């Protein structure tokens, strides 16, 4: 479904990723009437966000299909995704201005685009994020991290198929409560999950019709009902890092190994959502955040042969590991 610009309701307030988001775009998120970590305003512009006089900031021409980022002299950020949309994130991260480049944005692409832009706003407001897919199981959050294509969303969909709920797919915001035993709480994201057609055919029954995530992409975005999506926050119990199967292990073997705190810290840094900003102050904060998280939460490698028929074995192994 495509919504033209003049049909978008301005000024609605939503709760997502722990943010209170006042948006010019209509979003499928809970209303923003609860506690929040920060506030962000999403505005919509009909005019070009980066004027021609600023093109000298570019070291090379922008191709229409490219993803592009530039930090501007005032500390703000300019972002562009191919022919879809461009964003300007204010220096303090409290405001995002967006302009669809083709005059309209598919509903399935909004959450994807916003999660990318919101990661820059969150960084500016002092929050680190993980690139993760998170389920809620028995009231606790279980996170899966790993490179794109490692099967995070497929594994989460298998858990949903078995009765779990999704907390977030892509961007994970964590809130660390200090104390003798630090409590880590995971905030919910947009109520949708992204799946490739083969995974969707096997695991997305009952989720409704999927929509193309992006032009030219095979992935589909499936909206989730309140039954399948957990809103608010959940305590984080464990983080599983999806890895390739170690050579020599049995073909049907599911291997779960806890990482040392040092290895866990480095792994978390490697799986932060936004690797673009590399200023020394950000890198120092990122390391401190990852070290604190590695001390508080078990981080484990999870390797298994990829294949839909083997997913029940993977789910059983994770359940057994969580019960220990």
Pair 109, 185 in one domain:
no
E-strand stretches of 139-252: 140-145, 165-177, 183-187, 192-195, 211-212, 220-223, 233-243
CATH of the domain at 252: 3.40.50.300
The residue range of the domain holding 249 is 129-323
Tens digits of per-residue pLDDT, 224-245? 888 899 999 999 999 999 986 5
Task: State the pLDDT confidence band at 25, using cuts at 50, 70 and 90.
Answer: confident
Pair 193, 77 in one domain:
no
Pair 197, 91 in one domain:
no
Task: Check residue 59 and give its pLDDT.
Answer: 52
Task: State the pLDDT confidence band at 293, using cuts at 50, 70 and 90.
Answer: very high
Task: Check residue 8 and give its pLDDT.
Answer: 41
Task: Check residue 259 and give its pLDDT.
Answer: 97
For residue 253 the two structure tokens come to 């073997």
Task: Check residue 229 and give its pLDDT.
Answer: 93
Task: Check residue 299 and give its pLDDT.
Answer: 97
Is the per-residue pLDDT at 63 higher than 60?
Answer: no
Pair 164, 298 in one domain:
yes
Pair 167, 74 in one domain:
no
Task: Check residue 62 and give its pLDDT.
Answer: 54
- How many domains would you assign to the chain? 2
Strand partners, 172: 130
Pair 205, 269 in one domain:
yes
Pair 280, 139 in one domain:
yes
Among 61, 89, 124, the domain boundary falls at 124
Pair 26, 120 in one domain:
yes
Among 124, 155, 183, the domain boundary falls at 124
Task: Check residue 178 and give its pLDDT.
Answer: 73
- Residue 157, classified by CB atoms within 10 Å of its CB into exposed (0-12), middle (13-18) or buried (19+), is buried
Pair 112, 203 in one domain:
no
Pair 296, 214 in one domain:
yes
Pair 135, 273 in one domain:
yes
Average pLDDT, rounded, for the chain: 85
User: Average pLDDT, stretch 121-125?
Assistant: 96
């Amino acid at each position: 479904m495509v919504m033209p610009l003049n049909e978008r309701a301005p000024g609605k307030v939503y709760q997502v990723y722990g943010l209170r988001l006042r948006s010019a775009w209509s979003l499928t998120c809970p209303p923003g009437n609860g506690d929040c970590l920060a506030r962000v305003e999403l505005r919509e512009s009909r005019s070009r966000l980066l004027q021609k006089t600023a093109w000298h900031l570019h070291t090379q021409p922008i191709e229409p299909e490219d993803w592009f980022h530039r930090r501007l002299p005032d500390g703000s950020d300019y972002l562009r995704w191919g022919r879809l949309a461009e964003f300007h994130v204010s220096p303090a991260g409290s405001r995002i201005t967006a302009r669809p480049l083709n005059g309209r944005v598919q509903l399935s692409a909004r959450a994807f685009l916003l999660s990318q832009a919101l990661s820059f706003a969150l960084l500016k407001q002092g929050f680190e994020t993980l690139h993760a897919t998170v389920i809620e199981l028995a009231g606790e959050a279980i996170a899966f991290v790993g490179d794109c294509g490692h099967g995070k969303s497929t594994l989460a969909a298998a858990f949903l198929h078995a009765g779990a709920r999704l907390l977030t797919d892509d961007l994970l915001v964590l809130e660390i409560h200090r104390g003798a035993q630090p409590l880590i709480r995971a905030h919910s994201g947009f109520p949708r999950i992204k799946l490739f057609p083969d995974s969707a055919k096997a695991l997305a029954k009952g989720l409704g019709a999927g929509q193309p995530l992006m032009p030219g992409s095979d992935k589909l975005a499936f909206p989730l009902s309140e039954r399948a999506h957990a809103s608010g926050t959940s305590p984080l119990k464990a983080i599983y890092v999806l890895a390739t199967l170690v050579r020599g292990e049995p073909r049907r073997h599911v291997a779960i190994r806890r990482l040392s705190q040092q290895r866990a810290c480095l792994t978390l840094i490697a799986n932060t959502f936004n690797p673009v900003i590399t200023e020394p102050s950000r890198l120092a904060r990122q390391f401190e955040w990852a070290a604190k998280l590695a001390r508080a939460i078990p981080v484990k490698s999870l390797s298994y042969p990829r294949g839909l028929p083997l997913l029940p074995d993977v789910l059983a192994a994770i359940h057994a590991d969580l019960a220990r």
